[in-house]
Each structure stands twice: as structure tokens, then as C-alpha cells.
């Protein structure tokens, strides 16, 4: 299957982000030894690992028994639990989220990242079909090999920073910080001081240090007294401040070069305004975030176009033509981004039916938002076509061939697609708009695909037909030669009630609670713009047939 996936989603391969040498301990390992291993990569009572880690995986009987992370340790400290005689098995998280990978079913990096985000975890073990450990994926692994070709390059710090920063004064104890992290479910606390500029204005909140989960692990391994130690004496003063307008990619490079998992965001005055973490940057890989990226691109394109039009002082007709070209260009950009996301999400849902319910819900959200994006594409095409029909002589058979090629590349293999065309010398031209017709025909194919979730046959035909004045009961059309495009599927079909109101539904989909049909209304609009008409026939269990009549160019 030749599946095209947007580079922003598929930029990371699983082989690159999986650590095949995770930090392992036995379930009966003392917690103190596990903490030492996480803090420095070694322990007095364990073999030298030389690998500092934010976790340890507990193994029992050759399989994963649980995981113990920095967050788990912070919660134990906040609860004042004595860890001296505790075993890893007593404090680890036993109900651990994993992903299965086998020879028959591979896992994409996009799915792995989505599972981590949906379950709000920073460690995701990968196991085989027998639940044996293959490796582990962490935020650190992903962040360390992010490519500059990703969508992170067009984002700013202000797009992803968290303005709700948890802060504390320097005279708080380490125990107070641990309890604050546990209560607020955060991995960092910013240590701040107040700076007064004048009596008329409130004091500025200035960051002076930071304490992270990793810092608490290190300090616990060094046996600091958390109740008596003030945070100002041990806090990390390496803050690496950035500004809201800074490039997110440059911030990522800063974090990677300094081996930091977070940076603080400040204003020009030095006042604290937010925080950016590795998790924040990974959010740009969320497929659902693509709509925001598209919006940014659209605004940039429209701004550039507006400035260009002012400089050129074009005539009104030229302005309309430019706007139509811009609208079509934006719609094509949308299409190139959203259609692969939609198709990928649908195929992933079929390919990985064993995924947990929350992950399946995430895939459904991706599909829903992608369909909304495609609807926006169609609206842009429709609006631009209203400015100027832009009809030129063209060959409809070439458009059909392109649509079928795209459908075969992106639809599941369970759907067989056939194209029947007459000989080239018998096909006359039509007056048409390539972009409108491609969008309309592709939507009909998508509609057929959706009607056959378990597979089936999609057949597209092109014929010539001489239509008399009374041949069409849906519209008054002149008697002449038409090219007839037939899109027929063996899907679920429509009920008699649905067929009765089908054109009303197309005209007002919200009234009939069928928003997914609104795209077909755009199909009808496109056909009308080409001075044609459409017929629909359908029967439950036997499929649906659409016939699009386009007047041949005499």
C-alpha cells in the first residue's frame, strides 16, 4: 500500500526513538538502590549501568512487573513515606501502559507519541506479542533526535508555553517543593523573588532558580534532609530564559545543547510569564495540532498576498483573479496536509484494532477534525468559484484518472477501484475548472469509501449520453450531448426516507442532523457551476450510484 503521510507526523521512525537498552532492576531491588541508579547511573549494590535515567523498569519472570519514575519518588517524599526498607515492588506503578509490536503489526512513531500524550505518561515500554520487553520510548529520546524539518520551525514560544507556572519562594523546604509538585501534578517548580520598580505598580515576579523532579531524585540519593533544607541553598540556578517571540526550534536547540528539559519564559522586564518543557515541544507533533499550523500558514499567505496587491495597485478584475488563485492555492495546501492525516488515521484504526479505548478515541478525534478541515477546503474552493467560474476547455477523463490514482494510493486495499473510460478519440472536451471537479469527484469517492468500512467495490465510469429536454426530472436542461460520470459503490446504501429528502439534506445538512453530508452539497454546487446536473440512486444493502452530467463542448 502506498500510503502518503504528512512529514510532520511521520518524521520520526520508531527505530530512532526506541531505547532497546532500558534500565532494568529486579522487583525485589531496594528503592534506595533504584534511586541511586536513576540519580547517577550506578549503585553500590547493583551492576554498573553508566546510564542516568528518569525511571527504572522492574522485571519479574522475564516480563515487566512495573515502573518506578521520578514522579513516583516525588509523591513518596510528599507523603513522608520511609523508603529505607522498601522494595521497588512495593512502590512501583504496576498497571503500566505498553504497546505491542509484532512481525505482523508494526507501530508507527505517531501512534506511540499519541498514546503517551493521551495517557499523560513520559515512558512507554514496547513489548512483543508474548509481552516480552523490546525497549522503551521516552520524551527525552524523542526530543534528542527531532529534525529541523518538522513543523516546530514555524512556531513561536508563545504558541506552546504554559502560562500557569507553579512558583515558590526560596525559603521553602525541599519537602514543601515535593508536596507542591505532588499536589499540582507538575515536574518543575520555579523559585521566584519579588522586584519592586515603583510604589504605584505591583512588584515583578522574577525567576531566580528552578527545582525539578530530577533534582529531587539527586538530592534524595545524596540523603539530604528534605524537611530542614531550604530550597534556595540547593536550587538549580541555570534557568535558560527565553522570550515569547523566540523561535521554538531555537529553544529546542538550546534545551538540547544544555541538556535541559525545560526553559523559563520571561518578558523584557525580566518578569516570569511561562514555561516550556519537552512535553510542550512534543505537542506540535500532535496530529490534532495541524489545524493550528495550517491557520498560521494561511494567515502568512493572505498577508503576503495583501501586501503584493497593494504594491501592484491591480484593477478590480485582476484582484478577483488573484484572490481566486490564492484561495485555490490555500485549499490545495490544506488538502495536501489534511487528506493524508485523515487517511492515515482511518487506516491506523483498521490496522491496530487491539489498541486501548482511549487511543481509539484519539484516532476518532483525528478523523473528525480532518473531515472538518476537508469541509473547509471545499468551502474555499466553492467561494473562489463564486468569484469567477474560471471554466476552460479540458478533458474530464484525465481528471478521473488522477482522482482514481489518488484513491488507489490512499484507500484501504480491501476496496477495489475500477475505472472505465471510452476510447480517447470519442471523448469531447468540457468547459470546466480542474480544481473544482477534482475536489467534487474525490469527495464522492470518499463518501463511497466511508460506506464500505469492511471493503467492497468502487466503480467509476465515463459515458456519452444525448439528453432530451424531459430526460431529467430534477432540473430543466437543454437537449444536448453530455458526458456522464458515474460513481457507484456496493456500500450500505440509503433508506427510502433518506432518498426522499436527499437534496434537502444536501441543502441544509444541520437541519437533518447529517453534517457529514454537507460535502455532497458542495459537489452539487460544483456541478451547477459547470452547468450540469446530478442524479442519485440508492438501495439499502445494494449500494449507491451518483451520475454527474456535464455538457460536452460542441
Q: Give per-residue pLDDT as tens, 383-416.
A: 554 444 567 788 888 889 888 888 888 788 888 9
Residue carrying C-alpha cell 495540532: 289
Least confident interval from 143-147, 258-262, 543-547: 143-147
Q: Which three cell numbers stand for residue 27?
A: 522487583
Q: What is the pLDDT of residues 267-306, one digit of tens each?
A: 988 999 999 987 777 666 544 444 444 444 444 444 444 4
* pLDDT tier for residue 469 given thresholds of 50, 70 and 90: low
Classify burial at 301, counting beta carbons within 10 Å of its beta carbon; exposed 0-12, middle 13-18, buried 19 or more.
middle
Confidence at residue 255, expressed as pLDDT on a 0 to 100 scale: 83
pLDDT at 130 over 90: no
133 beta partners: 127
More confident residue, 436 or 58: 58
The CA angle 417-419-423, to the nearest 5 degrees, is 165
R_g of the chain, CA atoms, integer Å: 30
Confidence at residue 382, expressed as pLDDT on a 0 to 100 scale: 52
Q: What is the pLDDT of residues 272-281, one digit of tens each?
A: 999 998 777 7
The span from the CA of 238 to the CA of 263, in Å, is 9
pLDDT at 450 over 90: no
pLDDT at 471 over 60: no
Q: Which three cell numbers stand for residue 77?
A: 517524599
Q: Which three cell numbers stand for residue 323?
A: 484572490
* pLDDT tier for residue 173 given thresholds of 50, 70 and 90: very high
What does the buried/exposed string (b/e) look like for 169-205 if buried means 16 or more CB atoms within 10 Å of the residue's CB? Answer: eeebbbbbbbbbbbeeebbbbbbbeeeeeeeeeeebb
Confidence at residue 523, expressed as pLDDT on a 0 to 100 scale: 82
- According to DSSP, residue 93 is labeled B
Count of all residues that appear for the chain in the document: 554
pLDDT at 174 over 80: yes
The average pLDDT across 50-67 equals 85
pLDDT at 353 over 70: yes
The span from the CA of 77 to the CA of 175, in Å, is 7
The span from the CA of 467 to the CA of 351, in Å, is 46
Q: Which residues contact residue 68 at a Cβ distance below 8 angstroms, ignoring those fewer than 6 apart?
A: 31, 34, 55, 56, 58, 88, 91, 92, 93
Q: Which three cell numbers stand for residue 83?
A: 523508603
Residue 261 and residue 210 in contact, taking contact as beta carbons nearer than 8 Å:
no
pLDDT at 375 over 80: no
The span from the CA of 24 to the CA of 8, in Å, is 33
The average pLDDT across 70-94 equals 90
Q: Which residues contact residue 302 at a Cβ distance below 8 angstroms, ignoring those fewer than 6 apart?
A: 326, 330
Q: Which residues contact residue 440 at a Cβ distance below 8 angstroms, ignoring those fewer than 6 apart?
A: 522, 523, 526, 527, 548
More confident residue, 340 or 164: 164
Residue 14 and residue 5 in contact, taking contact as beta carbons nearer than 8 Å:
no
Number of C-beta neighbours around residue 148 at 10 A: 9
Confidence at residue 281, expressed as pLDDT on a 0 to 100 scale: 73
Confidence at residue 313, expressed as pLDDT on a 0 to 100 scale: 37
Residue 493 and residue 452 in contact, taking contact as beta carbons nearer than 8 Å:
no
The CA angle 219-223-224, to the nearest 5 degrees, is 65
Classify burial at 395, counting beta carbons within 10 Å of its beta carbon; exposed 0-12, middle 13-18, buried 19 or more.
middle
* pLDDT tier for residue 323 given thresholds of 50, 70 and 90: very low
Confidence at residue 302, expressed as pLDDT on a 0 to 100 scale: 47
Q: Which residues contact residue 124 at a Cβ distance below 8 angstroms, ignoring those fewer than 6 apart?
A: 97, 98, 99, 112, 115, 116, 136, 137, 138
* pLDDT tier for residue 6 given thresholds of 50, 70 and 90: very low
More confident residue, 118 or 378: 118
The span from the CA of 549 to the CA of 242, in Å, is 60
Angle between helices 434-450 and 316-351 (to 10 degrees): 20
Residue 131 Rama label (left phi>0; alpha psi -120 to 50; beta): left
Residue 292 and residue 8 in contact, taking contact as beta carbons nearer than 8 Å:
no
Nearest in space to 135 (alpha carbons), one of 54, 55, 51, 20 = 20
More confident residue, 52 or 386: 52
The average pLDDT across 76-95 equals 90
- Map 474-511 to HEC letters: CCCCCCEEEEEEEEEECCCCCCHHHHHCHHHHHHCCCC
The average pLDDT across 113-118 equals 74
The CA angle 264-268-270, to the nearest 5 degrees, is 55
pLDDT at 88 over 70: yes
Looking at 109-244, which runs of residues are DSSP E strands? 123-127, 133-138, 167-168, 188-195, 204-212
Least confident interval from 52-61, 135-144, 254-263, 426-435: 135-144
Q: Which residues contact residue 311 at a Cβ distance below 8 angstroms, ignoring those fewer than 6 apart?
A: none
The average pLDDT across 482-491 equals 91
Q: pLDDT > 70: what percent of the chain?
A: 70
Amino acid at each position: 500500500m502506498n500510503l502518503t503521510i504528512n512529514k510532520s507526523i511521520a518524521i520520526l521512525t520508531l527505530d530512532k526513538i526506541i531505547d532497546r537498552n532500558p534500565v532494568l532492576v529486579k522487583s525485589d531491588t531496594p528503592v534506595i538502590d533504584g534511586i541511586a541508579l536513576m540519580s547517577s547511573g550506578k549503585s553500590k549494590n547493583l551492576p554498573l549501568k553508566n546510564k542516568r535515567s528518569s525511571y527504572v523498569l522492574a522485571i519479574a519472570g522475564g516480563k515487566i512487573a512495573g515502573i518506578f519514575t521520578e514522579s513516583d519518588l516525588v509523591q513518596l517524599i510528599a507523603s513522608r513515606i520511609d523508603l529505607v526498607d522498601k522494595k521497588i515492588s512495593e512502590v512501583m506503578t504496576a498497571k503500566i501502559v505498553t504497546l505491542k509490536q509484532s512481525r505482523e503489526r508494526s507501530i508507527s512513531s505517531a501512534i506511540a507519541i499519541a498514546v503517551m500524550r493521551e495517557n499523560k505518561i513520559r515512558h512507554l515500554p514496547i513489548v512483543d506479542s508474548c509481552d516480552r520487553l523490546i525497549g522503551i520510548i521516552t520524551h527525552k529520546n524523542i526530543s534528542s533526535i527531532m529534525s529541523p524539518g518538522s513543523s516546530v520551525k514555524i512556531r513561536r514560544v508563545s504558541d506552546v508555553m504554559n502560562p500557569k507556572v507553579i512558583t515558590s519562594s526560596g525559603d521553602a523546604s525541599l519537602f514543601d517543593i515535593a508536596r507542591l509538585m505532588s499536589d499540582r501534578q507538575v515536574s518543575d517548580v520555579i523559585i521566584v523573588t519579588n522586584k519592586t520598580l515603583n510604589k504605584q505598580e505591583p512588584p515583578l515576579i522574577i525567576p531566580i532558580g528552578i527545582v525539578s523532579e530530577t533534582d529531587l531524585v539527586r538530592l534524595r540519593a545524596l540523603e539530604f534532609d528534605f524537611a530542614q533544607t531550604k530550597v534556595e541553598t540547593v536550587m538549580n540556578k541555570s534557568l535558560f530564559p527565553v522570550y515569547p517571540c523566540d523561535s521554538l526550534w531555537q529553544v529546542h536547540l538550546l534545551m538540547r545543547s544544555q541538556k535541559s528539559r525545560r526553559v523559563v519564559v520571561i518578558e523584557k522586564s525580566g518578569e516570569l510569564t511561562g514555561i516550556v518543557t519537552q512535553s510542550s515541544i512534543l505537542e506540535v507533533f500532535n496530529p490534532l495540532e495541524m489545524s493550528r499550523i495550517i491557520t498560521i500558514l494561511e494567515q502568512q499567505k493572505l498577508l503576503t498576498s495583501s501586501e503584493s496587491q497593494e504594491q501592484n495597485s491591480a484593477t478590480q478584475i485582476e484582484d478577483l483573479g488573484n484572490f481566486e488563485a490564492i484561495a485555490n492555492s490555500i485549499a490545495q495546501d490544506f488538502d495536501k496536509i489534511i487528506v493524508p492525516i485523515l487517511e492515515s488515521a482511518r487506516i491506523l484504526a483498521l490496522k491496530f484494532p487491539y489498541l486501548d479505548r482511549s487511543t481509539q478515541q484519539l484516532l476518532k478525534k483525528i478523523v473528525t477534525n480532518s473531515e472538518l478541515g476537508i469541509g473547509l477546503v471545499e468551502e474555499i474552493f466553492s467561494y473562489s468559484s463564486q468569484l469567477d467560474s474560471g471554466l476552460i476547455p479540458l478533458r474530464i477523463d484525465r481528471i478521473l484518472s488522477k482522482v482514481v490514482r489518488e484513491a488507489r494510493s490512499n484507500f484501504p486495499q480491501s476496496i477495489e477501484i475500477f475505472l472505465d473510460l471510452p476510447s480517447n478519440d470519442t471523448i469531447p472536451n468540457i468547459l470546466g475548472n480542474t480544481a473544482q471537479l477534482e475536489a467534487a469527484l474525490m469527495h464522492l469517492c470518499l463518501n463511497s469509501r466511508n460506506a464500505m468500512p469492511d471493503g467492497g467495490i468502487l466503480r467509476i465510469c465515463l459515458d456519452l449520453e444525448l439528453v432530451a429536454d424531459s430526460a431529467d426530472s430534477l432540473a430543466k436542461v437543454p437537449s444536448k450531448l453530455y458526458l456522464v460520470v458515474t460513481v457507484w459503490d456496493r456500500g450500505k446504501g440509503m433508506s427510502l426516507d433518506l432518498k426522499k429528502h436527499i437534496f434537502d439534506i444536501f441543502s441544509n445538512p444541520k437541519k437533518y442532523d447529517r453534517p457529514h453530508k454537507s460535502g455532497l452539497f458542495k459537489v452539487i454546487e460544483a456541478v451547477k457551476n459547470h452547468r450540469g446536473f446530478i442524479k442519485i440512486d440508492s438501495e439499502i444493502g445494494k449500494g449507491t450510484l451518483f451520475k454527474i452530467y456535464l455538457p460536452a463542448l460542441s
